[in-house]
Amino acid sequence: MTKTIISALDVGTTKISAVIAEVNNDQELKILGVGVGPSSGLSKGVITNIASAIEAIAYAVERAEKTAGISMDSAYVGIAGPHISSLNSQGIIAIADESNPINESDITRAIDSARIVHVPHNREIIHVVPRFYTLDGQDQVIDPVGMYATRLDVDAHVITASSSSINNLIQCIEGAGVQVESLVLDQLASTEAVIEHEELEHGVALCDIGGGTTDISVYLDGNICHTGSIEVGGSLMTKDLVSALKAPHYSAESIKREHGHAIPSMIEHGELIELDTFGMDRKKAIERKYVAEILQYRCEELFEMILAEINRSVNAKMLSAGIVLTGGASKLEGLEILGEQVLGMPVRVGIPKNLAGLSDILHHPAYSTSVGLLRWAIIEKSLSVNKYRGNFSNNFVKKIASVMKIWQPQ
Ligand SMILES: Nc1ncnc2c1ncn2[C@@H]1O[C@H](COP(=O)(O)OP(=O)(O)OP(=O)(O)O)[C@@H](O)[C@H]1O
Ligand SMILES: [Mg+2]
């Protein structure tokens, strides 16, 4: 049985995770090594200090390599942040010989023509995701290969990133001794790890609530409609607690993770928690309900912002499968219940699954991007050697990966 080694690097605002895995002929993913370290030199998804970022990435990579017993030479890398922007574009081509069915090279030409959008000189296209095709200006189809037409239109979602952010990210990763095999937008990777096929079909929004940002992608009828990013994440929730409780960051962070809740009314009156604080006393007992009130305020505001971001592309009411939350901050107790109350739509937390090997740590929403990057690598590599067996749950990503132009180092 042939086994292929693949690796993923998620350079997040709060943590950096490096994962080395093995894939067999049946496309099963076995985790060989995971390395996680605190992030440094990054703010809201953007590198701010190259030297510290290289050191932090190298630390995570080294830990993964030690556990796996092999080196991480190259990796699929996540990219995110407010410098990302997206637009929907149309590509049109003529089919020279209408007696021949449409083939893969026609699809590639159509997508190439959708890439011809005005992109400022300081930005680069990282993904062109086909949404649907139109034959002779009439019939909308998902996969036109084998069909007949004289004109093929493609409606595509084009995602661009700032060239300097891309270059800085690559420089840091290469500085840590790893080649960038492919850059994948964080929320597209997370989608592959936690969203189910049926949710994509009926309409869903993926919201990856990390430390610095909440990265969103919206799907309707199995097609991507929108990607966006909000500069609010778990770090702001912790900051709110620092300021309200007058407590050091480490203390506020552990209170949030261990006792935090998004719904104060679900906490009993008089439930006290002890925490380290600034000032003379150093230790203080506070009502857990009060902590929940502070968190609720920030989370309600975040849900309102998520709703506004979704509504920029489609009416959120059209998303029958609602919202899937993921990312470390989605672990806050009660968050999905608050989400349903505020948004009036279904909300669940997505956690990566179906992993073998040393995968315990990855069964947490903070690792959706890492696991999703590995799944992208499997799909792309299978397709490139024509081995794809079609046994992935998520045809959507297969569709993107089969025709999209992934950014690749020049
Ligand atoms: N149990 C928990 N309850 C509440 N928040 C949590 C919990 N566990 C982790 N978090 C929060 O999750 C956030 C980190 O999430 P994640 O690891 O997904 O971020 P990241 O990928 O480093 O950041 P980004 O995606 O914004 O670049 C932190 O703010 C952390 O406090
Ligand atoms: Mg993240």
CA quadruple 276, 280, 284, 289: dihedral sign? negative
Cα 265 to chain centroid distance, Å, stands at: 32
pLDDT at 289 over 70: yes
Percent of the chain at pLDDT above 90?
A: 73
- DSSP structure string for 374-393: HHHHHHHHHHHTT---S--S
- Residue 34's closest CA among 351, 365, 371? 371
Q: What is the pLDDT of residues 4-14, one digit of tens each?
A: 899 999 999 99
The closest-lying atom of ligand 1 relative to the alpha carbon of residue 237 is 29
So where are the chain's domains?
A: 85-160
Mutate to test the pocket of ligand 1, among 39, 165, 209, 257 (most ligand atoms within 8 A of CB): 257
pLDDT digits (tens, 9 = 90+) for 182-200: 999 999 999 999 999 999 9
Which pLDDT score, from 0 to 100, does residue 62 have?
A: 98
Instruction: Kindly tell me if the per-residue pLDDT of 409 is higher than 70.
Output: no
Q: Which two tokens stand for residue 320?
A: 């029958």
Query: Which residues is 237 bridged to in the sheet?
Result: none
151 within ligand 1 shell (Cβ under 6 A)? no
| Cα 220 to ligand 1 centre (Å) | 27
- Quote the DSSP letter at residue 190: H
Cα–ligand 1 centroid distance for 326 (angstroms): 9
Distance 208 CA to ligand 1 centre (A): 10
Q: Calculate what percentage of the chain has a pLDDT beyond 70.
A: 93
Cβ-contact 76, 377 below 8 angstroms:
yes
Mean pLDDT score, 42-70: 93
* pLDDT tens digits, 344-365: 999 999 999 888 888 899 999 9
- The pick from 19, 331, 336, 373 for probing ligand 1's pocket by mutation, whose C-beta has the most ligand atoms within 8 angstroms, reads 331
Residue 52 has pLDDT above 90, yes or no: yes
Judged by average pLDDT, the poorest of 173-177, 280-284, 311-315, 338-342 is: 280-284
Please determine, for residue 99, whether its predicted confidence score (pLDDT) is greater than 80.
Answer: yes
CA-wise closest residue to 110 among 77, 156, 142: 156
Instruction: Write down the pLDDT at residue 141.
Output: 86
For the stretch 380-400, pLDDT in tens is 877 544 333 332 334 444 445
Q: What is the pLDDT of residue 398?
A: 47
DSSP state of 44: T
Is it true that domain 85-160 has CATH number 3.30.1490.110?
yes
Q: Which residue of 9, 14, 299 sits with most ligand 1 atoms within 8 Å of its CB, as the best mutation to test the pocket?
A: 14
Banded pLDDT at 226 (limits 50, 70, 90): very high
pLDDT confidence band for 249 (50 / 70 / 90): very high
What's residue 65's pLDDT?
98
Any atom of ligand 1 within 6 Å of the Cβ of 257: yes
Pairing of strands 151-162, 214-220: unpaired
For residue 1, give both structure tokens.
């049985």
Residue 216 has pLDDT above 60, yes or no: yes
The DSSP-derived string for 69-136 is TS---EEEEEE-STT-EEEEEEEEEE-S-TTSPP-HHHHHHHHHHHT-S---TTEEEEEEEEEEEEET
